[in-house]
């Protein structure tokens, strides 16, 4: 994510929330009404106090009149308590709901983004934006909104009341207000910059934690615990210092505002006390004025509190908006051609389920990693891909379901350009077992049936375990198929994860199965068993196998050899064995090794 300026345009970030504000408008309106009722009741109490003191100061008064004023104060305090409960329930409740719905919106959008987005953005940073940043937004549309509105209403009302009550004293009392306003503006700009830095260090800290625990086996095997402890300590110190910068600023500013607010009380004491001595003001008027000046402290503090929270919320919402405004680099283009994967094929379909025509591909602005590839695979056939590491095999199979975006007019599935397929419909045709076999922190069974939408079928699960040669391993697990495998498959070996990944890809019975070097961690005997089972189980379905062992292609209809991103050999495996090329040499070496 690029760096953005904090100054200016604070409120425009909150336009993202306009739909949420509209949805909960009646709750917010109701909350504001209750808030104004509380403010009105608070403003009445000094008036009741004034009248009571003026009555008592005369020494000739009726206790019933004082009692009535006390009852009125109790009624006002009841309104304050009940109104405060209601506006907190309505406004803070709405801010919590908006936070929840915005988090869901953010999560939904993240899942729509293409894989290249997650290569450019670290997981720790995305976690921070989905948690800490959303919390700051909630505070801004909850406490920040209340503090700003309540402080404005109270400040204006109090200033009007004290000027009506005693203009001379009020004119002296409000002298510090312009200076406080300038401080608030200056404070807001500094808070925004420092809070953005704090959130960035939080992201770095989360990323370190995530990488450490995800790679704990590698760290321990290389005895690098000390290096990661040092790295975490440095990130932790950065996070502490960045937050301390915010805390120090807030700690200096808020007491300063309190001092200036208290300074107004000193002015009232000097100016108002003199007027009481001269008989120009009653004692009750002075007490009421003191009460109003003490009440004015909250709007002054609330202004700084509002600027602080709103600035934090704006910074965080800007970070969230950066994600929400990011468009997927790969998306459905021609909606009129969309159809479900199980529907009829395109009118131009001639039985070639995969057609690759003059395909050249490069990552970004770099050099081509694939050059002029031409491959045709008939429906129900099996294609084997062989080549040295970095030859472009995985890139090629990622282009088929548009995990990477190929140039238009180069790859066709069922007679239709993949760029004209609806993404969900296209990808539903494929079952993929990738090189990196990711496992969820769940049971073996739930990992195996992850993509299966049918009814619970133990027989089907057992059959998939047999096909992938996982059945013999399951017997060794404590809870069999229900055994929890830990985060990222921590309790499984590399070969077990690969076989579970193969079973997960096969169980959905895809029209096109892709095994992207997913047999590399199993022994030759197990590989032969798995390949034989796959050929038998997918007799009339298309399969693409990437492997470094030629033996995996024994039953394939086609074999292709990639060298330097170009198609070096292509044809039936038996024909390639007779050609004397890379395929034949590799087969001879592997046979000699065995």
Identify the pLDDT of residue 85.
95
Same domain, 245 and 375: no
- Examine residue 44 and state whether it is found in any structural domain, yes or no: yes
Count CB-CB contacts under 10 A for residue 549.
20
Same domain, 577 and 478: no
- Examine residue 484 and state whether it is found in any structural domain, yes or no: yes
**Distance (Å) of CA 159 to CA 168, 263, 353, 477:** 12, 16, 79, 76
Identify the pLDDT of residue 453.
81
pTM: 0.76
What distance in Å separates the CA atoms of residue 321 and residue 313, rounded to the nearest whole number? 12
pLDDT along the chain (594 residues), means of 10: 45 83 94 93 88 75 78 91 94 93 92 85 84 89 88 87 80 74 70 78 85 78 85 91 86 76 74 75 80 77 75 87 90 60 51 91 86 92 91 92 92 92 91 84 85 79 88 82 78 84 90 89 84 87 90 88 92 89 88 73
Identify the pLDDT of residue 8.
46
Same domain, 305 and 404: no
Contacts for 342 with CB less than 8 Å, ≥ 6 apart: 428
- Examine residue 449 and state whether it is found in any structural domain, yes or no: yes
Identify the pLDDT of residue 164.
85
Query: What DSSP element (H or E) covers 416?
Result: strand 416-417
Same domain, 415 and 312: no
Closest listed residue to residue 400, CA positions, set 541, 542, 568, 533: 542
Same domain, 171 and 217: yes
What distance in Å separates the CA atoms of residue 370 and residue 209, rounded to the nearest whole number? 37
Structure tokens at 576: 């390639």
- Examine residue 339 and state whether it is found in any structural domain, yes or no: no
Distance of alpha carbon 371 from the chain centroid: 37
- Examine residue 227 and state whether it is found in any structural domain, yes or no: yes
95 burial (CB, 10 Å; 0-12 / 13-18 / 19+) is: buried
261 burial (CB, 10 Å; 0-12 / 13-18 / 19+) is: buried
Q: How many domains does the chain have?
A: 3
The domain boundary residue, chosen from 289, 308, 324: 324
Tell me the per-residue pLDDT of 365-390, one tens digit each, with 9 for 90 and over: 778 899 999 999 999 999 999 999 88
Identify the pLDDT of residue 343.
46
Same domain, 367 and 387: yes
Identify the pLDDT of residue 11.
66
For β-strands 411-413 and 416-417, DSSP reports them as antiparallel
Identify the pLDDT of residue 342.
45
- Examine residue 6 and state whether it is found in any structural domain, yes or no: no
- Examine residue 103 and state whether it is found in any structural domain, yes or no: yes
What distance in Å separates the CA atoms of residue 90 and residue 503, rounded to the nearest whole number? 50
Identify the pLDDT of residue 26.
95
The domain boundary residue, chosen from 271, 290, 324: 324
Identify the pLDDT of residue 340.
47
Same domain, 505 and 519: no
The domain boundary residue, chosen from 284, 308, 324: 324
What distance in Å separates the CA atoms of residue 63 and residue 402, rounded to the nearest whole number? 86
Identify the pLDDT of residue 279.
73
Q: In the chain, what is the straight-line distance between the N-terminal and C-terminal CA atoms, in Å?
A: 51
User: What are the beta bridge partners of residue 352?
Assistant: 378
CATH number at residue 141: 1.20.1560.10
What distance in Å separates the CA atoms of residue 559 and residue 128, rounded to the nearest whole number? 47
User: Collapsing DSSP states into helix, strand and coil, what is residue 481?
Assistant: helix
What distance in Å separates the CA atoms of residue 56 and residue 6, rounded to the nearest whole number? 56
User: Collapsing DSSP states into helix, strand and coil, what is residue 570?
Assistant: strand
CATH number at residue 496: 3.40.50.300
Same domain, 285 and 411: no
Same domain, 517 and 505: no
Same domain, 195 and 281: yes
Domain that holds residue 457: 436-509
| Geometric angle at alpha carbon 302, from 169 and 137, rounded to 5° | 160
Same domain, 158 and 231: yes
Identify the pLDDT of residue 79.
93
Structure tokens at 234: 């440095």
Same domain, 492 and 425: no
- Examine residue 423 and state whether it is found in any structural domain, yes or no: yes
């Amino acid at each position: 994510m690029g760096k953005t300026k904090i100054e200016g345009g604070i409120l425009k970030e909150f336009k993202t929330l306009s739909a949420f504000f509209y949805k909960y408008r009646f709750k917010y309106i109701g909350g504001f009404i209750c808030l104004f009722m509380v403010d009105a009741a608070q403003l009445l109490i000094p008036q009741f106090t004034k009248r009571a003191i003026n009555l008592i100061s005369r020494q000739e008064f009726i206790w019933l009149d004082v009692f009535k004023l006390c009852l009125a104060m109790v009624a006002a305090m009841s309104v304050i308590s009940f109104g405060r409960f209601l506006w907190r329930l309505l406004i803070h409740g709405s801010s919590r709901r908006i936070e929840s719905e915005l988090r869901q919106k953010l999560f939904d959008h993240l899942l729509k983004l293409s894989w290249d987005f997650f290569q450019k953005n670290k997981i720790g940073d995305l976690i921070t934006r989905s948690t800490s940043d959303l919390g700051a937004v909630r505070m801004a549309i909850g406490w920040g909104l209340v503090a700003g509105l309540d402080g404005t209403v109270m400040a204006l009302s109090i200033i009007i009341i004290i000027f009506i009550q005693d203009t001379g004293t009020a004119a002296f009392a409000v002298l510090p207000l312009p200076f406080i306003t300038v401080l608030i503006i200056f404070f807001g700009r500094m808070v925004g910059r420092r809070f953005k830095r704090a959130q960035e260090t939080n992201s770095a800290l989360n990323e370190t934690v995530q990488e450490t625990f995800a790679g704990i086996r590698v760290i321990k095997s290389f005895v690098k615990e000390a290096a990661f402890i040092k790295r975490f300590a440095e990130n932790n110190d950065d996070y502490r210092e960045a937050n301390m910068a915010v805390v120090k600023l807030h700690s200096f500013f808020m007491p300063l505002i309190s001092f200036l607010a208290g300074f107004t009380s000193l002015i009232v004491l000097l100016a108002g006390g003199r007027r009481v001595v001269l008989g120009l003001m009653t004692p009750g008027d002075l007490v009421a004025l003191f009460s109003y000046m003490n009440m004015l402290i909250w709007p002054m503090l609330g202004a700084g509190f509002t600027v602080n929270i709103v600035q934090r919320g704006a910074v965080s919402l800007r970070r969230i908006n950066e994600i929400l405004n990011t468009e997927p680099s790969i998306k459905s283009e021609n909606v009129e051609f969309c159809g479900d994967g199980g529907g009829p094929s395109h009118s131009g379909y001639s039985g070639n389920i995969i057609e690759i025509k003059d395909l050249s591909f490069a990552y970004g602005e770099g050099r081509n990693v694939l050059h002029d590839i031409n491959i045709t695979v008939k429906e129900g056939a099996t294609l084997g891909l062989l080549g040295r590491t970095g030859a472009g095999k995985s890139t090629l199979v990622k282009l088929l379901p548009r995990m990477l975006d190929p140039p238009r007019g180069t790859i066709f599935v069922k007679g239709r350009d993949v760029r004209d397929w609806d993404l969900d419909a296209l990808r539903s045709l494929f079952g993929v077992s990738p090189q990196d076999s990711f496992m969820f922190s769940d049971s073996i069974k739930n990992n195996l049936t992850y993509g299966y939408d049918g009814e619970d079928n133990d027989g089907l699960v057992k059959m998939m375990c047999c096909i992938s040669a996982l059945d013999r391993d399951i017997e060794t697990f404590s809870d069999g198929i229900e055994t929890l495998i830990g985060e990222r498959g921590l309790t499984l070996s590399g070969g077990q994860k690969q076989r579970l990944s193969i079973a997960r890809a096969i169980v959905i019975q895809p029209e096109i199965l892709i095994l992207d070097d997913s047999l590399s961690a199993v022994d030759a005997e197990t590989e032969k068993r798995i390949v034989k089972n796959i050929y038998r189980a997918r007799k009339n379905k298309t399969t693409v196998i990437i492997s470094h062992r030629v033996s995996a292609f024994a039953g394939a209809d086609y074999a292709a050899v990639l060298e330097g991103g170009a198609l070096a050999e292509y044809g039936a495996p038996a024909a390639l064995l007779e050609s004397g090329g890379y395929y034949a040499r590799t087969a001879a070496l592997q046979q000699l090794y065995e």
